[in-house]
Chains A and B, each alone.
Chain A
């Protein structure tokens, strides 16, 4: 009638219902999906074209101190505007030839400072100077370096971070000067462009399972990361919630009222279960929005049918393991601050897979991947990463890792239960990790 399972379920239900009311959960449910969708929309837009509608032109002031390059620069800017009519650059000559160059530079600086132009370009007097005759050949020794005044790009505090504008201006100046040099050698810029045009090289990936399934390489890396990150968030946010709940119950002295009715292990198991439910709810919401966004971006076909099932299995087992560690630590401490100090080693275990993301997603069958897949604290995240990179993982590895994780989770829960039942009524100085281990051996 009132067996331990029912008690555990009742505690789990309360824990779940209370978690739904917290601000953290609301943020997780509403804000995170909005962020995912927002990112998807923005990157989708960026992928198609920067700015779908015409944007106002940006003006760049120029002072040509060489006296020879104005035409070339103007031509380069014109070619740029023709290629990208959506966001043109307007070249503004500052002053005329009659004005002294120094005065024109000062005016240019003032215009940049006042924001009348977004950036200013001063072309150096010797920008297009040829190297002295006889030193251009490869056999020649190092040229004697003359102190050369460089061309300058001026930007105010508002536009200095617009690296794209700087890069564009730099490229256009380069183009103008190089074209000038071609002309000096009687070379036609068009001919040079034709000769140096790139050779197309198509990248084709041969995957083990489905040969020829071409996917954008970005998606090949990002989708597995998304799954692992989902696992990471699912485990950490709820484990943190569990820790808070335990510490709060302890400091508000609710614990002993509960222990009058349930055993410490039932209490801990109920809490872990309830928060696993919270985690699954969050993951379901994040997963649906995330995958919807992936479809929107055209990356959706990487999901295989079995993935949600693997995810749930690995999540529940992996969460049990990590959450019981959090619960044990929480039970031994009186404040969240004390708990944070003891949490360090556990946090390292959780973050480890994130660090290993790159090497493992590039080589999901390698030694590194296999070792960490069978190291229980990292199994859940690593296996989800491997499975989403390579859905055709050997069944023996999947079954073996689930078994190993299940055994480790139950063992951890048992040990954590020992610590929990002792720690939960201890007030005062928090124990050291060594003391915690000794508690496990207590009867």
Chain B
């Protein structure tokens, strides 16, 4: 499993005069959970549709699971679209049997998997009810099951968490983590930075159809070390603002948030503080994915 599950090479797709995806190159390593982030209208859904062969790219190459993307690969992929719906009049079991059947599953194996997954997501009592009788959250779980029923190697989820309550959110995350344990690849788009930060091994941040950030999450977080130090000091702190390495000081509750000048090191600040005040707490503030997102996308939009 050293290959990449998805490779995008200078992929471009336009609709009329709008360039939805603009020379996007990225890789999704196999066996990882990969977050696909970006503001609204950044081209996330279009990219996922391109990967799914629902759209054809105007230019560029897409390889999925080691081969150029084609209809045959759809069997090895589970896809949960953002625009999703089910046949309202069909039963829960009928829906899964139909979609599983289209994926080539049949007979006892199909029935067993349907029963197992309905149990897993807590829909076992609903198998013979019509889809329209289900609540919205239940329908969403059913759609998720439809995407993973055939045990795909690659799971592509477009906004899987939207509209889920915390319990179902944890359920879905658990299943995604379990998929990774078994060597599968998960690519999902989301607006929930907090969820992405907890779940992802790597991320791809796009804006205006172009990649802004791409790579392992811890490396991205590390490379965005912030220049803010949060400290709890005892004594007269008025001198701090006057230090050469300090650009600004802000009091937040009982702490000081000290923004360092460019190129300054937090250790120099610490050395300058020790002896003049009592340092009770001293901490480099790590940026959250949220902050990185706002910073990156905000810059691009200026």
Contact = CB atoms under 8 A, between A and B. Distances in A.
Nearest to B85: A253
A295 B78 CA distance: 57
B12 interface: no
Contacts, number: 69
A260 B147 contact: yes
A257 B52 contact: no
Interface string B42-69: 0000000100111110000000000000
Interface residues of B, number: 31
A21 B89 CA distance: 10
Interface stretch (B100-108, B170-178, B258-266, B276-284): B100-108
B88 interface: yes
Given A260-B147, A262-B102, A254 B71 contact: no
A297 interface: no
A196 interface: no
A4 interface: yes
Contact of B84 (A18, A21, A256, A261): A256
Given A257-B146, A259-B54, A260-B52, A2 B84 contact: no
A254 B52 contact: no
Nearest to A14: B98
A264 B20 CA distance: 21
B169 to A, nearest CB: 21
A263 B49 CA distance: 12
A354 B49 CA distance: 45
Interface string A10-25: 1100100010010000
Contact of B102 (A18, A261, A443): A261
A30 interface: no
A152 to B, nearest CB: 64
A257 B81 contact: yes
A210 interface: no
B172 to A, nearest CB: 17
Contacts of A11: 102
A260 B86 contact: no
B74 interface: yes
B71 A257 contact: no
B15 to A, nearest CB: 9
A7 interface: yes
Contacts of B75: 2
B103 A2 contact: yes
A1 B104 contact: yes
A203 interface: no
Nearest to B77: A260
B188 interface: no
Contacts of B55: 425
A423 to B, nearest CB: 13
Given A4-B71, A425-B49, A443-B56, A257 B104 contact: no
B143 interface: yes
Contacts of B77: 260
A262 B53 CA distance: 10
Contacts of A256: 54, 81-84
Nearest to B94: A14
Interface of A: 1-2, 4, 6-7, 10-11, 14, 18, 21, 249, 252-264, 266, 425, 443
Pairs of residues from A and B, 7 with the lowest C-beta to C-beta distance, nearest first: A2-B104, A253-B85, A260-B79, A256-B81, A252-B85, A261-B102, A253-B83
Given A6-B104, A253-B83, A256-B54, 16 more contacts: A2-B104, A10-B98, A18-B89, A249-B87, A253-B85, A254-B86, A256-B82, A257-B81, A257-B143, A259-B81, A260-B52, A260-B81, A263-B53, A264-B54, A266-B71, A425-B49
18 contacts: A2-B104, A10-B98, A18-B89, A253-B83, A254-B85, A255-B83, A256-B81, A256-B83, A256-B84, A257-B146, A258-B102, A259-B54, A260-B78, A260-B79, A260-B81, A261-B99, A263-B71, A264-B54
